[in-house]
Amino acid sequence: MRLYNTLTRQKEEFVPREPGKVAMYICGPTVYNHIHIGNARTFLSFDVIRRYLRWSGYEVTYVQNVTDVDDKIINRAREENRTPAEVAAEYTEAFITAMHALGIEDPDIRPKATAEIPAMIEMIECLIENGHAYAVEGDVYFAVRSFEEYGKLSGRDIEQMQSGARVDIDPRKRDPLDFALWKAAKPGEPSWDSPWSQGRPGWHIECSAMSAKYLGNPFDIHAGGDDLVFPHHENEIAQSEACSHTTFANYWLHGGMLTIDREKMSKSEGNFLLLKDVLSHIRPQALRLLMLQTHYRSPFDYSAERLQEATAALERVEGSLRNQEWAIANAIVTADELLSNDQPNKVTDQNDMARALLDHIEKKHRQFKSSMDDDFNTAGAVAAIFELVTAANSSITETVQNSLLKDAAAIARQTIIELLGVLGVALEGDEGHREELPTELVDLAAEMAGYGGDKPAEAVGELLAARQKARERKDWACADALRDGLAELGFAIEDTAAGARVVRKG
Ligand SMILES: [Zn+2]
């Protein structure tokens, strides 16, 4: 398995610190609002990576924090005349609900910043002791120039940062590049006791302290959106490595940006979508499938049309699985019957078809795995599944299936469901109860095809055979009547190169 490491700017072989186990940390939400679909994409990407690692045999520990103390939360609380804790509680719950709606699994550990203050204070003390941080009037700052490797993740040069105009000049900082580890509280702000002041932690120290506490350093994978590379992740590395003198995280994975109709998402441009609003009128699984068709590091363009296409693709897969299930459950004639009906060629043909299908399943399974092993290329993985769906579909163009073909079709169906499941795409009704054929088919066949038995599956075969005969003698009225009779019971006839078959409608 190879993955692209932002730190080294190349794909590397993945070697976990402990064989068979993966420790992963994903920067979580700041809970002051509902999350937008750009955030959702990031969390979805890493949910899929986690699922794939697990499917590949790793035991994964997945930690995602909740930033529940922050200026944005405090400002929102002030605007709404509530406490920051109330705002944070509301949007933490909203976040979890939205994650569940999109089929994103809960992390193994979801630490909240406000519950982890002691670990942060401890790390800040360590940095002061090591000469990497200093306190000024109740605030504590990290001395950026004291950490020689600062800039290694984002590839920025410290001298260029210095000349950059974005740095605010604060007379209390020794250097304009220094950033806050602890901030003294202003009146009315949430605050905690510390050696320096009643105050609260800076955002960056949260992730350094919580990942060290729950995963230890170095851990395997640190992930987040690529907007976090600088300064957040750069600062996390500086804090953690300056304190522990060991590597912080071995692999850095960053998800690409999301655009809407090829424009950058922006609140002020009115080009902004909350996940909950998108999910209110579409099937979440369609959004999931759509997002997976772009590699997680590439920019992803969202549009209503693309979402519609993904919905249609999802429905095609589901329809095809339903048809396969039906065909498998109701294979009408056994190989023996084919032989006794003097159709030995058909048995040979079907054996060939079955072997070709089994071959195809193996190939697509391999393609799925090699795509995912190549830096989690979900686009390639989804393509492999779609190709398998097409192949499985053509194998059920025959309503008559011998047992080998029937078994191959069943394996294809199971493989499609399994691989979509690895990507977290849950299908409607995939845990197949076998649909019973209605007994009305027997009555219809008795009436229109002179069928004397009592088996619905046989009745279908008789009806198709009668239709075939009617067509041969150009009795279109009779052929249409047979078709209409089946339609009334909810079945459509599909004419294919390999003969007619019956499928359930819709
Ligand atoms: Zn973080």
User: pLDDT tens digits, residue range 62-83?
Assistant: 999 999 999 999 999 999 999 9
> Any residues with CB less than 8 A from the CB of 349 and at least 6 apart, and which?
none
Structural domains of the chain, count: 3
pLDDT(432) > 50: no
Residues 364 and 485 in one domain: no
Instruction: Judge contact between 224 and 233, C-beta under 8 A.
Output: yes
225 plus 366 within the same structural domain: no
**252: CA distance to ligand 1 center in Å?**
12
Q: How do strand 219-225 and strand 249-255 relate by DSSP bridges?
A: parallel
Q: What is the pLDDT of residue 404?
A: 78
pTM, 2 dp: 0.84
Last residue of a domain, one of 361, 389, 422: 422
* 299 domain residue, yes or no: no
398 secondary structure, DSSP code:
-
Q: 206: CA distance to ligand 1 center in Å?
A: 7
The pLDDT confidence band at residue 341, using thresholds 50, 70 and 90, is low
Q: Which of 363, 387, 422 is the endpoint of a domain?
A: 422
How far apart, in whole angstroms, are the C-alpha atoms of residue 250 and residue 233? 13
Q: Tell me the three state secondary structure of residue 112.
A: strand
Please, which pLDDT band fits residue 498 given cuts at 50, 70 and 90? low
Pair (41, 119) in one structural domain: yes
Distance 27 CA to ligand 1 centre (A): 4
Give me ligand 1 centre to Cα 210, in Å.
9
Please tell me the distance from the alpha carbon of residue 217 to that of residue 382, in angstroms, as a whole number. Answer: 35
Q: Which residue has the higher pLDDT, 297 or 340?
A: 297
Q: Which of 366-375, 403-412, 435-444 has the highest mean pLDDT?
A: 366-375
Lowest mean pLDDT among 106-115, 274-283, 375-384, 401-410: 401-410
Residue 333 has pLDDT above 60, yes or no: no
Residues 97 and 231 in one domain: yes
Average pLDDT for 157-186: 82
The tokens describing 312, both together, are: 């249609």
Higher pLDDT, 492 or 380: 380
Q: Predicted confidence band at 420 (pLDDT cuts at 50, 70, 90)?
A: very high
Residue range 454-475: mean pLDDT, rounded: 87
Q: How far is the CA of 401 from the centre of ligand 1 (A)?
A: 56
Of 473, 468, 472, 503, the closest CA to residue 489 belongs to 503
Q: How far is the CA of 154 from the centre of ligand 1 (A)?
A: 15
Q: Which of 147-151, 309-313, 501-505 has the lowest mean pLDDT?
A: 501-505
Which residue's structure tokens are 């995963």? Answer: 215
Coil vs helix vs strand at 121? helix
Compute the distance from residue 265 Cα to the ligand 1 centre, in Å.
22
Determine the distance separating the centroid of ligand 1 and the alpha carbon of 45, expressed in angstroms.
Answer: 16
Q: How far is the CA of 140 from the centre of ligand 1 (A)?
A: 19
For residue 160, what pLDDT is reported?
Answer: 80
Q: What is the pLDDT of residue 434?
A: 44
In this structure, the answer to whether residues 95 and 22 fall within a common structural domain is: yes
Cβ(329)–Cβ(434) under 8 Å?
A: yes
- In this structure, is residue 195 part of a structural domain? no
| The pLDDT of residue 39 is above 60 | yes
Tell me how far apart the alpha carbons of residues 152 and 5 are, in angstroms, rounded to a whole number: 12
Domain end residue (candidates: 391, 422, 453): 422
Confidence of residue 401 (pLDDT cuts 50, 70, 90): low
Question: 211-249 b/e with 16+ CB inside 10 Å = b?
Answer: bbbbbebbbbbbbbbbebbebbbbbbbbbbbbbbeeebb
103 and 233 in a single domain? The answer is yes
Residues 6+ apart with CB under 8 A from 275: 34, 35, 36, 37, 39, 40, 98, 101, 102
Q: Is residue 171 part of a domain?
A: no
| Segment (H or E) for 221 | strand 219-225
CA of 65 to the centre of ligand 1 (A): 8
Residue range of the domain that includes 352: 304-422
- For ligand 1, the distance from its centroid to the CA atom of residue 387, given in whole angstroms, is 38
> Is 298 part of any domain?
no
Across 262-369, the runs of DSSP E, i.e. the strands, are 263-264, 300-302
Q: Which amino acid is located at 304 in the chain? A: A
Number of C-beta neighbours around residue 163 at 10 A = 8
Ligand 1 centroid–CA 312 distance in Å is 37
Span from the CA of 60 to the centroid of ligand 1 (angstroms) = 19
Pair (277, 309) in one structural domain: no
**Distance from residue 107's CA to the centre of ligand 1 (Å):** 15
CA 26 – ligand 1 centroid, Å: 7
Report which of 500, 488, 493 is spatially closest to residue 441, judged by C-alpha positions: 488
Tell me: pLDDT of 210 over 50.
yes
CA of 293 to the centre of ligand 1 (A): 26
H helices, E strands: number in the chain: 17, 15
Backbone angles phi, psi at 4, to 5 degrees: -80, 125
Residue 293 host element (H or E): none
Confirm if 123 and 239 have CB atoms less than 8 A apart: yes
Ligand 1 centre to CA of 28 (Å) is 7
Centroid of ligand 1 to alpha carbon of 506 (angstroms): 46
Rounded to the nearest whole angstrom, what is the distance from the C-alpha of residue 233 to the centroid of ligand 1?
Answer: 7
Q: How far is the CA of 22 from the centre of ligand 1 (A)?
A: 18
Asked, for residue 162, whether it belongs to a domain, the answer is: no
Bridge partners (DSSP) listed for residue 468:
none
For residue 209, report the distance from its CA to the centre of ligand 1, in Å. 10
Q: How far is the CA of 66 from the centre of ligand 1 (A)?
A: 9
| Ligand 1 geometric centre to CA of 150 (Å) | 17
Does residue 326 have a pLDDT over 50? yes
Residues 407 and 457 placed together within one structural domain of the fold:
no
pLDDT at 339 over 80: no
Same domain assignment for residues 207 and 329: no
Nearest-Å Rg of the Cα atoms of the chain is 30
Q: Which amino acid is at 131?
A: G
**Residue linked to tokens 């309503």:** 399
Question: At 381, is the pLDDT very low, low, confident or very high (cuts 50, 70, 90)?
Answer: very high
Tell me, yes or no, whether 11 lies in a domain. yes
Kindly give, in sequence order, each residue whose CB lies less than 8 Å from that of residue 4, ignoring residues fewer than 6 positions away: 10, 11, 12, 253, 297, 375
Percent helix, percent strand, percent coil in the chain, to nearest 5? 50, 15, 35
How many whole angstroms from 142 Cα to the centroid of ligand 1? 16
Do residues 15 and 221 lie in contact, with contact meaning Cβ atoms separated by under 8 Å? Answer: no
Region for 164 from its dihedrals, namely left if φ exceeds 0, alpha if ψ lies in -120 to 50, beta otherwise? beta
Mean pLDDT of 492-505: 70
Q: pLDDT category, 465, cuts 50, 70, 90?
A: confident
Pair 68, 115 in one domain: yes
Range in 349-353, 419-423, 429-433, 491-495 with the lowest mean pLDDT: 429-433
CA of 232 to the centre of ligand 1 (A): 6
Report the chain's mean pLDDT, rounded to a whole number.
Answer: 90
Rounded to the nearest angstrom, the distance between the alpha carbon of 236 and the centre of ligand 1 is 7
Å from CA of 225 to ligand 1 middle: 10
Residues 114 and 26 both lie in one domain: yes
114 and 252 fall within a common domain:
yes
Q: Is residue 79 part of a domain?
A: yes
Domain for residue 7, yes or no?
A: yes
Q: Is the pLDDT of residue 497 over 60?
A: no
Q: Which amino acid is at 195?
A: P
| Residue 430's pLDDT band (cuts 50, 70, 90) | very low
